[in-house]
């Protein structure tokens, strides 16, 4: 009986443990929340076990969400006041995924250089004006094994990330996902190399988008080195390829093991419903 009770208690604790690290993707419609609602959201997040909030970006195209005194900066100051550690995303080009589809190796390298420059400019804006206590930075441009399947492209990326990382005052986080173009073993080696540069590397489990079969995803996960964290997707995509992205909440695929875990995203967690619109 005691053993059954212990197992039950462990299962009850799993959601809170999973939500220790949560991604939050700012959208302009979130500006409608009142200060009291933001406070309610952050208090609930901490009550659910939240410790670290990874904000996907602080500038998206032409929008900086109001800048230093805008709704995003104000809400993050409140999040920190409620006890959340903050990792802040930098600049994201809304056309990133479309642009990289059309670029050759040199074009991709030039494009990344320009985008890293935009992120560095955003970082300097945050440092000098936002007055937000941060534990790290997040680079919103996700990596994948389709556009970086070629070893030369990965080497060029490593050089750029090394140069960028040397200019930062806090740890840099970055994430990747698998499209099945590199083997699990090669993917694991690649992400291990990125971790070895001093980056905090996250691998997205792909459960929400369902691009790869579950057994294939499992193979990639098993090949990950322990210091690569796993992002558990707490949604199920409902839109078809080529349509505007739509999804519905779904429980993240919890598991143990040696990997740090984070959940994507806050918007899909039960206590955020009614505050952060999903679609």
| Mean pLDDT of each 10-residue bin along the chain, 279 residues long | 36 54 97 98 98 98 97 98 98 96 95 98 98 98 97 96 97 98 98 97 96 96 97 95 91 89 97 94
Q: What pLDDT, on a 0 to 100 scale, did the predictor assign at position 242?
A: 81
Q: Is 128 exposed, middle or buried (0-12, 13-18, 19+ CB in 10 A)?
A: exposed
Phi, psi of 121 (to 5 degrees): -60, -45
Q: What pLDDT, on a 0 to 100 scale, did the predictor assign at position 153?
A: 96
Strands 143-144 and 200-204: unpaired
Phi, psi of 131 (to 5 degrees): 55, 50
Q: What pLDDT, on a 0 to 100 scale, did the predictor assign at position 123?
A: 98
Q: Which residues contact 221 (CB under 8 A, 6 or more apart)?
A: 203, 205, 230
CATH class of 2-272: alpha beta
Q: What pLDDT, on a 0 to 100 scale, did the predictor assign at position 17?
A: 54
Please indicate, yes or no, whether the overall pTM of this predicted structure exceeds 0.85: yes
């Amino acid at each position: 009986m005691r053993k059954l009770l212990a197992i039950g208690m462990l299962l009850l604790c799993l959601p809170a443990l999973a939500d220790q690290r949560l991604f939050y993707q700012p959208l302009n419609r979130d500006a409608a929340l009142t200060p009291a609602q933001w406070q309610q959201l952050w208090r609930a997040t901490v009550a659910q076990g939240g410790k670290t909030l990874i904000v996907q970006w602080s500038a998206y195209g032409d929008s900086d969400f109001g800048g230093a005194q805008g709704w995003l900066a104000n809400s993050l100051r409140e999040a920190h006041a409620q006890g959340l550690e903050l990792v802040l995303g930098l600049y994201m080009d809304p056309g990133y995924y479309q642009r990289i589809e059309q670029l050759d190796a040199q074009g991709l390298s030039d494009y990344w250089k320009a985008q890293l420059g935009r992120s560095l400019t955003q970082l300097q804006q945050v440092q000098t004006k936002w007055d937000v206590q941060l534990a790290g930075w997040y680079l919103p441009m996700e990596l994948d094994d389709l556009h970086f399947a070629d070893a030369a492209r990965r080497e060029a990326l490593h050089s750029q990330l090394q140069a960028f990382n040397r200019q930062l005052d806090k740890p840099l986080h970055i994430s990747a996902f698998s499209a099945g173009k590199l083997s699990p073993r090669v993917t694991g080696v690649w992400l291990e190399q990125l971790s070895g540069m001093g980056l905090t590397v996250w691998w997205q489990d792909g459960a929400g988008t369902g691009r790869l079969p579950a057994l294939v995803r499992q193979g990639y996960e098993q090949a990950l080195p322990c210091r690569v964290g796993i992002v558990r997707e707490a949604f199920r995509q409902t839109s078809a390829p080529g349509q505007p992205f739509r999804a519905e909440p779904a429980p993240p695929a919890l598991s143990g093991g040696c990997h740090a875990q984070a959940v994507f995203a806050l918007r899909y967690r039960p206590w955020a419903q009614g505050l952060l619109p999903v679609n």
